[in-house]
Amino acid sequence: MMKNAYFSGLTVPLLLLLPQLAITVVFFYWPASQAVWQSFLLQDAFGTSTEFVWFENYAELFKDPGYFKALINTAIFSTFVCILSLSIALLFAVMADRQIRGAEIYKTLLIWPYAVAPAVAGVLWIFMFDPSLGMLARGLASLGVNWNPRLNGNDAMLLVILAATWKQISYNFLFFLAGLQSIPKSVIEAAVIDGARPWRRFWTIVFPLLSPTTFFLLVVNIVYVFFDTFGIIDTVTGGGPSGATETLVYKVYSDGKGGSNLGGSAAQSVVLLVMVIAMTAFQFRFIERRVSY
Amino acid sequence: QTEIQWWHALTGANNDVVVKLAEEFNASQKDYKVVPAYKGSYPDTLNAGIAAFRAGTAPHILQVFEVGTGTMMSAKGAVKPVHELMKEAGEPFDPKAYLPAITGYYSTSKGDMLSMPFNSSSMVMWYNKDAFKKAGLNADAPPKTWPEVFEAAKKLKAAGFDKCGFTNAWATWANIEQFGAWHNIPIATKANGLEGFDAVLNFNSPLFVKHLTNLVELQKDKTYDYSGRTNNGEGRFTSGECPIMLTSSGFFGNVRANAKFDWGNAPMPYYPEAAGAPQNSIIGGASLWVMGGKKAEEYKGVAKFFTFISHIDRQVKLHTESGYLPITKAAYEKVKASGFYKDKPYLETPILELTNKEPTENSRGLRFGSLVQIRDIWSEEIEAALNGQKTPKAALDAAVERGNQMLRQFERTASR
Amino acid sequence: MAQVTLTNVKKVYFGGVEAVKGVSLEIPDGGFCVLVGPSGCGKSTLLRMVAGLETITSGDISIGSRVVNQIGPAERDIAMVFQNYALYPHMSVYDNMAYGLRNLGTPRDEIDRRVKEAARILAIEPLLDRRPKQLSGGQRQRVAMGRAIVRKPQVFLFDEPLSNLDAKLRVQMRVEIKKLQRALGVTALYVTHDQVEAMTLSDKLVVMNGGRVEQIGLPAEVYKKPASKFVATFIGSPPMNILDGTIDGPGIVALGDAILEVRDLRQDLAEGTAVEIGLRPEDIEIASEGAAGTLPFDVEFIEELGATQLFHGQLAGLPFVMQAATDTVAAQAGRLWITVDPDRVHVFDKQSGARLGRS
Amino acid sequence: MAQVTLTNVKKVYFGGVEAVKGVSLEIPDGGFCVLVGPSGCGKSTLLRMVAGLETITSGDISIGSRVVNQIGPAERDIAMVFQNYALYPHMSVYDNMAYGLRNLGTPRDEIDRRVKEAARILAIEPLLDRRPKQLSGGQRQRVAMGRAIVRKPQVFLFDEPLSNLDAKLRVQMRVEIKKLQRALGVTALYVTHDQVEAMTLSDKLVVMNGGRVEQIGLPAEVYKKPASKFVATFIGSPPMNILDGTIDGPGIVALGDAILEVRDLRQDLAEGTAVEIGLRPEDIEIASEGAAGTLPFDVEFIEELGATQLFHGQLAGLPFVMQAATDTVAAQAGRLWITVDPDRVHVFDKQSGARLGRS
Amino acid sequence: MVEDRRLGDAIAYVILTIGVLIVAFPVWLTFVASTWDAATIINGQLPLYPGPKFFENYYRILFIGTSGTTREPVLNMMLNSFVMAMAIALGKIFISVLSAYAIVYYRFPFRMAAFWIIFVTLMLPVEVRIFPTFKVVSDLGMLDTYQGLAVPLIASATGTLLFRQFFMTIPDELLEASRIDGAGPFRFFKDTVIPLSITTIAALFVIQFIYGWNQYLWPLLVTTKDSMQTIVIAIKKMIVTSDALTEWQLAMATAMLAMLPPVLVVVLMQRLFVKGLVETEK
Ligand SMILES: Nc1ncnc2c1ncn2[C@@H]1O[C@H](COP(=O)(O)OP(=O)(O)OP(=O)(O)O)[C@@H](O)[C@H]1O
Ligand SMILES: Nc1ncnc2c1ncn2[C@@H]1O[C@H](COP(=O)(O)OP(=O)(O)OP(=O)(O)O)[C@@H](O)[C@H]1O
Ligand SMILES: [Mg+2]
Ligand SMILES: [Mg+2]
**Tens digit of each residue's pLDDT (9 = 90 or more) over B24-82:** 888 888 888 888 888 877 888 888 888 788 777 888 888 888 878 877 877 777 888 88
Nearest CA to ligand 2 atom 20: D40
Contact of B285 with B197, CB cutoff 8 Å = no
Q: Who has greater pLDDT, A99 or A205?
A: A205
- Residue D105 pLDDT exceeds 50: yes
Contact of E244 with B15, CB cutoff 8 Å = yes
Q: How far, in Å, CA of A88 to CA of A82, rounded?
A: 10
Query: Angle at Cα A148 formed by Cα A142 and Cα A149, nearest 5°?
Result: 135
Phi, psi of A3 (to 5 degrees): -80, 150
- Residue D291 pLDDT exceeds 80: no
Q: How far is CA A113 from the centre of its chain?
A: 15
Return residues 196-235 of D near C (CB < 8 Å): 196, 199-200, 219-220, 223, 235
Report pLDDT for E43: 66
CA of C166, nearest ligand number: 2
Nearest CA to ligand 1 atom 18: C42
Which H or E run contains D313? strand D308-315
- Residue A129 pLDDT exceeds 60: yes
CA of D82, nearest ligand number: 4
pLDDT over 70 percentage in chain A: 91
**Are β-strands C32-36 and C204-209 bridged in parallel, bridged antiparallel, or unpaired?**
parallel
For chain A, what is the mean pLDDT?
A: 80
Q: Is the dihedral of CA B212, B215, B216, B217 positive or negative?
A: positive
* Ligand 2 neighbourhood includes D49 CB (under 6 angstroms): no
CATH number of the domain at A228, please. Answer: 1.10.3720.10
Nearest CB among A49, A240, A255 relative to B229 is that of A240
- Residue E67 pLDDT exceeds 90: no
* Ligand 2 neighbourhood includes D193 CB (under 6 angstroms): yes
Q: Read off the pLDDT band of A2 (50, 70, 90).
A: low
Neighbours of ion ligand 3 (CB under 5 A): C 44
Q: How far, in Å, CA of D43 to CA of D40, rounded?
A: 7
Q: How far, in Å, CA of C2 to CA of C155, rounded?
A: 7
Report pLDDT for B240: 82
Considering only alpha carbons, which residue of chain E is nearest residue B258? E39
**Subunit contact C54:E1, Cβ cutoff 8 A:** yes
From ligand 3's centre to the CA of D166, what distance in Å?
A: 14
Report pLDDT for B323: 73
Q: Is the dihedral of CA D147, D148, D149, D151 positive or negative?
A: positive
**Subunit contact A186:C133, Cβ cutoff 8 A:** no
Q: How far, in Å, CA of B40 to CA of B10, rounded?
A: 8
The boundaries of the domain holding residue A191 are 64-289
Q: How far is CA A109 from the centre of its chain?
A: 22
Interchain CB contact of A190 with C (< 8 Å): yes
Residues in chain B: 416
Ligand 2 pocket, mutate which of D45, D48, D195 (most atoms under 8 A from CB): D45
Shortest-distance atom of ligand 2 to CA D11:
12
From ligand 2's centre to the CA of C139, what distance in Å?
A: 23
* Ligand 2 neighbourhood includes D44 CB (under 6 angstroms): yes
- Residue B180 pLDDT exceeds 80: yes
Q: How far, in Å, CA of C155 to CA of B321, rounded?
A: 92
Q: How far, in Å, CA of C331 to CA of C310, rounded?
A: 9
**Tens digit of each residue's pLDDT (9 = 90 or more) over A146-156:** 777 777 778 88
Q: Which residues contact C105 (CB under 8 A, 6 or more apart)?
A: none
In order of A25, A29, A32, E109, the CA distances from E112 in angstroms are 16, 17, 21, 8
> Long-range contacts made by residues D268-275, C-beta under 8 angstroms, separation at least 24?
D269/D356, D271/D246, D271/D247, D272/D246, D272/D247, D273/D246, D273/D247, D273/D350, D274/D244, D274/D245, D274/D246, D274/D350, D275/D245, D275/D246, D275/D247, D275/D347, D275/D348, D275/D349, D275/D350, D275/D356
Shortest-distance atom of ligand 2 to CA D83:
27
Q: Read off the pLDDT band of A124 (50, 70, 90).
A: confident
**Tens digit of each residue's pLDDT (9 = 90 or more) over E196-205:** 888 888 888 8
Across the range D106-118, mean pLDDT stands at: 92
What is the 8-class DSSP label of residue B324?
P
Report pLDDT for D50: 93
**Tens digit of each residue's pLDDT (9 = 90 or more) over E206-248:** 888 988 888 887 887 787 777 788 888 888 777 766 555 667 7
Q: Which residues pair with C325 in a beta bridge?
A: C308
Q: How far, in Å, CA of B315 to CA of B118, rounded?
A: 10
Using DSSP's 3-state secondary structure scheme, residue A61 falls into helix
Contact of D151 with D102, CB cutoff 8 Å = no
**For residues C243, C248, C252 and C253, what is the CA-based torsion angle, rounded to 10 degrees?**
0
Which residue type, as a one-letter code, is found at position C156? F
Contact of C48 with E1, CB cutoff 8 Å = no
Q: How far, in Å, CA of B47 to CA of E222, rounded?
A: 12
- Residue B83 pLDDT exceeds 80: yes
Q: Who has greater pLDDT, D109 or D238?
A: D109
Across the range E161-178, mean pLDDT stands at: 86
Give how far E23 is from chain A: nearest CA, Å.
7
Find chain E residues with C-beta within 8 A of D151's C-beta.
Answer: 181
Query: Angle at Cα C309 formed by Cα C303 and Cα C310, nearest 5°?
Result: 60
**Subunit contact D73:E191, Cβ cutoff 8 A:** no
For chain E, what is the mean pLDDT?
A: 81
Q: How far is CA B409 from the centre of its chain?
A: 25
**Are β-strands B166-168 and B244-248 bridged in parallel, bridged antiparallel, or unpaired?**
parallel
* Ligand 1 neighbourhood includes C39 CB (under 6 angstroms): yes
Report pLDDT for D332: 80
User: What is the predicted ipTM?
Assistant: 0.80
Ligand 2 pocket, mutate which of D20, D41, D53 (most atoms under 8 A from CB): D41
From ligand 3's centre to the CA of C169, what distance in Å?
A: 21
**Tens digit of each residue's pLDDT (9 = 90 or more) over A211-258:** 878 887 887 788 778 777 888 888 888 777 767 788 888 888 877 776
Beta-carbon neighbour count of residue C295 at 10 Å? Answer: 22
Shortest-distance atom of ligand 1 to CA C46:
18
* Ligand 1 neighbourhood includes C15 CB (under 6 angstroms): yes
Domains in chain A: how many in total? 1
Residue A69 lies in a domain: yes
Find chain A residues with C-beta within 8 A of E282's C-beta.
Answer: 175, 216, 220
**Subunit contact E16:A96, Cβ cutoff 8 A:** yes
Using DSSP's 3-state secondary structure scheme, residue E245 falls into coil
Report pLDDT for B213: 92
Domain locations in chain E as residue ranges: 69-280
- Residue B357 pLDDT exceeds 90: no
What is the 8-class DSSP label of residue D254?
E
Contact of B249 with B352, CB cutoff 8 Å = no
Query: Angle at Cα B369 formed by Cα B366 and Cα B374, nearest 5°?
Result: 85
In order of A22, C348, D140, the CA distances from E132 in angstroms are 17, 87, 56
Contact of D303 with C200, CB cutoff 8 Å = yes
Return residues 99-128 of C near A (CB < 8 Å): 99-100, 103-104
Find chain C residues with C-beta within 8 A of D179's C-beta.
Answer: 301
Give how far E175 is from chain C: nearest CA, Å.
28
What is the 8-class DSSP label of residue D239?
P
**Are β-strands D78-81 and C346-349 bridged in parallel, bridged antiparallel, or unpaired?**
unpaired
Across the range B224-248, mean pLDDT stands at: 84
For chain D, what is the mean pLDDT?
A: 88
Q: Which residues pair with E107 in a beta bridge?
A: A8
- Residue B416 pLDDT exceeds 50: no
**Subunit contact E154:A170, Cβ cutoff 8 A:** no
Give how far C133 is from chain A: nearest CA, Å.
7
From ligand 4's centre to the CA of D39, what distance in Å?
A: 7
Q: How far, in Å, CA of A132 to CA of A148, rounded?
A: 10
Report pLDDT for C346: 92
Find chain C residues with C-beta within 8 A of E3's C-beta.
Answer: 72
CATH (residue range E69-280): 1.10.3720.10
Across the range D330-355, mean pLDDT stands at: 88
- Residue D185 pLDDT exceeds 80: yes
Q: Give partners of D (≥3 CB pairs < 8 A).
A: C, E
- Residue E76 pLDDT exceeds 70: yes
Nearest CA to ligand 1 atom 26: C39
- Residue D281 pLDDT exceeds 60: yes
Nearest CB among C175, C223, C307 relative to D282 is that of C307
Residues in chain C: 359
Find chain D residues with C-beta within 8 A of C305's C-beta.
Answer: 196, 199-200
**Subunit contact C131:A293, Cβ cutoff 8 A:** yes
Ligand 1 pocket, mutate which of C9, C17, C55 (most atoms under 8 A from CB): C17
Helix/strand/coil (H, E, C) string of chain C?
A: CCCEEEEEEEEECCCCCEEEEEEEEEECCCCEEEEECCCCCCHHHHHHHHHCCCCCCEEEEEECCEECCCCCHHHHCEEEECCCCCCCCCCCHHHHHHHHHHHCCCCHHHHHHHHHHHHHHHCCHHHCCCCHHHCCHHHHHHHHHHHHHHCCCCEEEEECCCCCCCHHHHHHHHHHHHHHHHHHCCEEEEEECCHHHHHHHCCEEEEEECCEEEEEECHHHHHHCCCEHHHHHHCCCCCCEEEEEEEEECCEEEECCEEEECCCCCCCCCCCCEEEEEECHHHEEECCCCCCCCEEEEEEEEEECCCEEEEEEEECCEEEEEEEECCCCCCCCEEEEEEECHHHCEEEECCCCEECCCC
Q: Which residues contact E207 (CB under 8 A, 6 or more apart)?
A: E158, E273
pLDDT over 70 percentage in chain B: 99
Report pLDDT for E244: 59
Using DSSP's 3-state secondary structure scheme, residue A219 falls into helix
Find chain E residues with C-beta within 8 A of D83's C-beta.
Answer: 173
- Residue A291 pLDDT exceeds 50: no
- Residue E282 pLDDT exceeds 50: no
- Residue D189 pLDDT exceeds 90: yes
From ligand 3's centre to the CA of A184, what distance in Å?
A: 15
Q: Which residues pair with C27 in a beta bridge?
A: C4
Top-confidence range, B294-303, B395-404, E35-44, E237-246: B395-404
pTM, full prediction: 0.83
* Ligand 2 neighbourhood includes D209 CB (under 6 angstroms): no
Residue-range domains of chain C with CATH: 4-230 (3.40.50.300), 239-349 (2.40.50.140)
Mean pLDDT is lowest, of B220-229, D22-31, E216-225, for: E216-225
Where helices occur in B193-311 by DSSP H, the ranges are 206-220, 235-238, 252-258, 296-310
* Ligand 1 neighbourhood includes C193 CB (under 6 angstroms): yes
Q: How far, in Å, CA of A78 to CA of E273, rounded?
A: 27
Q: Who has greater pLDDT, E44 or D347?
A: D347
**Subunit contact C193:D166, Cβ cutoff 8 A:** yes
From ligand 2's centre to the CA of D45, what distance in Å?
A: 6
Using DSSP's 3-state secondary structure scheme, residue E167 falls into helix
- Residue D104 pLDDT exceeds 50: yes
Contact of A21 with E118, CB cutoff 8 Å = yes
Give how far D184 is from chain E: nearest CA, Å.
20
- Residue A288 pLDDT exceeds 60: no
Residue A58 lies in a domain: no
Residue A163 lies in a domain: yes
User: In the A/E pair of chains, how many CB contacts fall below 8 A?
Assistant: 292
Phi, psi of B399 (to 5 degrees): -60, -40
**Are β-strands B244-248 and B123-128 bridged in parallel, bridged antiparallel, or unpaired?**
antiparallel
Residue A24 lies in a domain: no
- Written as tens digits, the pLDDT of chain C (359 aa) is 588 999 999 999 888 888 899 899 999 998 999 999 888 889 999 999 999 888 899 999 999 888 988 888 888 889 999 888 889 988 899 999 999 888 888 899 999 999 998 898 888 888 888 888 888 888 888 899 899 889 888 899 999 888 877 777 788 888 888 888 888 889 999 999 888 888 889 999 999 998 999 999 999 889 999 999 999 988 888 889 999 989 988 888 988 778 888 888 888 888 888 999 999 998 888 887 777 778 889 998 888 887 888 899 888 888 899 998 877 777 788 888 888 888 889 999 999 989 988 86
